[in-house]
A = this chain, B = another copy of it.
Amino acid sequence: MRYFEDIEVGLTIEVGRHVVSKEEIVRFATQWDPQSFHVDEDAARESVFGGLSASSCHTYSISSLIFSRAAELKTKAAAMMGMKMRFPTPVRPGDELTLREVCLDKRPSRSRPRYGIVKSQASMVNGAGAEVMVCQSSYLVERREPAPAETTR
C-alpha cells in the first residue's frame, strides 16, 4: 500500500490494461446509460460516433477497475474530492486500453493531519495511442506518520 509519503510527484506509472469487448459495452450501457449509440450497432453507425462506443460511465469505471487490479500501486486513498474528465476519443469494441497515472502535486491536509491531498492525472489510451479518457482528480491519501501539529503564532 502506498501512503502519502510514497507518492512521487512527476513520476508516470503504467497502472495496467483492459480489453473492452462489444458485449461489455452493450451490457454496461443497457444497465446504466442506454443511449442508442452505446447499445445498438445500427443506430450507432448513424450517430456522430459512426459506430458503437462505450458510455462515459463505463470508460470511467474501466479506469477504476484497472486501478483495483494493480495491487502493488494501491494507495491508502480515503476520499475523492473532485475531478475534471475529458473523453477525447470514443472507446470501441475490442480496444485494449492502457491506463497511466502521474502525480501532479501533493500537499499535507491542513484540516486532517492524518491525510495528505494528492492531485493526479490518469490518462487512458487505446491501441493507437489516442487518449480515450484524461482525468485530473484530487483525493485524500493517508499519511504513514500524522503531520506534526502546526506551530501557530
Give chain A's interface residues, CB within 8 Å of chain B. Answer: 31-35, 37, 47-49, 55-57, 60-62, 64-65, 68, 77-87, 90, 112, 115, 140
The quantity of this chain's copies bound in the complex is 2
A-B contact pairs, 5 of them (CB 8 A): A32-B64, A57-B64, A80-B87, A83-B85, A84-B84
Across the interface, do A86 and B82 meet the contact criterion of CB distance under 8 Å? yes
Quote the shortest CB–CB distance from A138 to chain B (angstroms).
10
Across the interface, do B48 and A140 meet the contact criterion of CB distance under 8 Å? yes
Quote the shortest CB–CB distance from A108 to chain B (angstroms).
15
Across the interface, do B33 and A65 meet the contact criterion of CB distance under 8 Å? yes
Closest residue of chain B to A28 (Cβ to Cβ) is B61
Q: Which residues of B contact A68 (CB under 8 A)?
A: 32-35
Q: Which residues of B contact A32 (CB under 8 A)?
A: 61-62, 64-65, 68
Q: Which of B49, B57, B84 contacts A79 (CB 8 A)?
A: B49
Closest residue of chain B to A82 (Cβ to Cβ) is B86
Q: Which residues of B contact A82 (CB under 8 A)?
A: 84-87
Q: How far is the CA of A28 from the CA of B108 in the complex (A)?
A: 31
Q: Which of B33, B55, B64 contacts A33 (CB 8 A)?
A: B64
